[in-house]
Structure 1
């Protein structure tokens, strides 16, 4: 346990020293501010463009913005933040392979499964901190300008999208163990998400896929019931566990 904590501290301090923690805090903070800002500016932007749109035969009617508008923007922007997260952390194992530091760590007695858990925990923590920061900033501005009670099902929607991000982290860990290249991790993670997304188009399959959780924003306008996503949540948690189990199994048998 001491070796795991020591390695975990090393990973955390590395995130702090490299500026990754600061970068993500700033990134998610910006997105948190952008959500209500875009909502507030929408009427002004449409009014500014009204003459140009009228010339093209499009009439601009009065637009009413509220907390729901801002939360809709939140679920449009958070995928961008997640993509940035994936691009940055897809090399969390590959840089260890390139510098041979992983071999050095393992020769000192650290078990391979502890390396997998530590890497997963660091990414899990970074994603959670950033996501909650973005959510808290958006929530605070919305409470100041409007009324958050209009956003029905906001808490489940927030948790579902966070869990989708955790599944992505599981995929990053899995493909980081399976392949040694940064590009391979990106392709494996992106390909898996795309494949699962395509599967969700099959009849009734949307209830059983992690990509269903991306649709959690629809809870805000009450188009889906909360129970509809229960099976997808359980399957997503199971897939995260499977990713970790497979990663540990492959890591234990892998020649470094």
Structure 2
């Protein structure tokens, strides 16, 4: 199974490259890595040029913390949406085309098939996130001041755990149905539910969204130790991966 898994994983990664999904995700994430410090640096200048009808808008000088806030916000909002759109077809696209049955007839174990897709999705996502973090640290240093790469790495890793939970939810939806629209609905539904529940003060510290505040604090050099959001994100991810496997074992191809 290990040999088959390795072959399938290479095939999946190559498919992400050939269909430009890996390229699109990487470009989007890297653009956010550049735009986050750029927006923090130049937004006060842009606002100063606007016609405010005599009102004086005084903004504090932009800082590294402002760039980090932009990065976390962009990655957890627009970045999450792009990620869901890419992940929604992880399994459902092949089921809809009928290629799953052909692949499994070789024979290929269902477990290896599903695991290769999950691993490929995780590798592409985390590689794009790592690249975005490096670019963000460089442009932040260039425009605003030094941002230690270690702090930036921790910040990006916590955002990555949050995105992994959303990824797992979308992957489950993609496994349960042949419809890309339904898969996307499951992913966006999970994203919306996590966001809405995170707005409840008593629940917020125990939900994945709490990781975003921790990520920003870590990026700003003031890490806050709290495990509620981290554990809940991992639990959601594991439950969704297991549920996807249990469902795929019984699905009719």
Q: Do both proteins adopt the same fold according to a TM-score greater than 0.5, normalized to the shorter chain?
A: yes
- Structure 2 spans left out of the alignment, 5+ residues: none
CA contact (8 A) 1:172 1:185 kept: yes
Correspondence for 1:116 among 96, 114, 125: 114
Deviation at 1:116, TM superposition (A): 1.6
After the TM superposition, which of the residue ranges 153-162 and 70-79 deviates more from structure 2? 153-162
Q: Which has the larger radius of gyration?
A: 1
Aligned position for 2:245: 248
Cα deviation, 1:160-216, whole Å, max 9, x if unaligned, reads 211011111111211111122111111112112222333334452112112222333
- Structure 1 spans left out of the alignment, 5+ residues: none
Alignment of 1:10-29 (within 5 A): 10-29=11-30
Quote the Cα distance in structure 2 between the aligned partners of 1:60 and 1:25.
36
Deviation at 1:249, TM superposition (A): 0.8
| TM-score of the two chains, using structure 2 as the length reference | 0.89
Quote the Cα distance in structure 1 between the aligned partners of 2:5 and 2:205.
37
Deviation at 1:149, TM superposition (A): 5.4
Q: 1:204 to 1:146 in 2, by over 3 A?
A: same
Quote the Cα distance in structure 1 between the aligned partners of 2:193 and 2:70.
26
Deviation at 1:152, TM superposition (A): 11
Quote the Cα distance in structure 2 between the aligned partners of 1:218 and 1:144.
20
Quote the Cα distance in structure 1 between the aligned partners of 2:172 and 2:179.
13
- Number of equivalences: 250
Q: 1:246 to 1:158 in 2, by over 3 A?
A: same
Quote the Cα distance in structure 1 between the aligned partners of 2:141 and 2:79.
23
Correspondence for 2:95 among 91, 94, 97: 97
Deviation at 1:130, TM superposition (A): 1.2
Q: 1:100 to 1:246 in 2, by over 3 A?
A: same
CA contact (8 A) 1:156 1:226 kept: no
After the TM superposition, which of the residue ranges 40-49 and 202-211 deviates more from structure 2? 202-211
Aligned position for 1:233: 230
Correspondence for 1:211 among 205, 209, 212: 209
Correspondence for 1:133 among 131, 134, 140: 131
CA contact (8 A) 1:67 1:142 kept: yes
Alignment of 1:61-210 (within 5 A): 61-78=58-75, 79-148=77-146, 155-210=153-208
What is the CA RMSD across the aligned residues, in angstroms? 2.4
More helix by share: 1
Q: 1:27 to 1:153 in 2, by over 3 A?
A: closer
Q: 1:106 to 1:170 in 2, by over 3 A?
A: same
Deviation at 1:155, TM superposition (A): 4.9
Q: 1:21 to 1:221 in 2, by over 3 A?
A: closer
| TM-score of the two chains, using structure 1 as the length reference | 0.88
Quote the Cα distance in structure 1 between the aligned partners of 2:197 and 2:47.
38
Q: 1:124 to 1:151 in 2, by over 3 A?
A: closer
Cα deviation, 1:95-153, whole Å, max 9, x if unaligned, reads 21122110011111211111221111111111111111111111012223333459997
Aligned position for 2:6: 5
Quote the Cα distance in structure 1 between the aligned partners of 2:63 and 2:32.
18
Q: 1:45 to 1:7 in 2, by over 3 A?
A: same
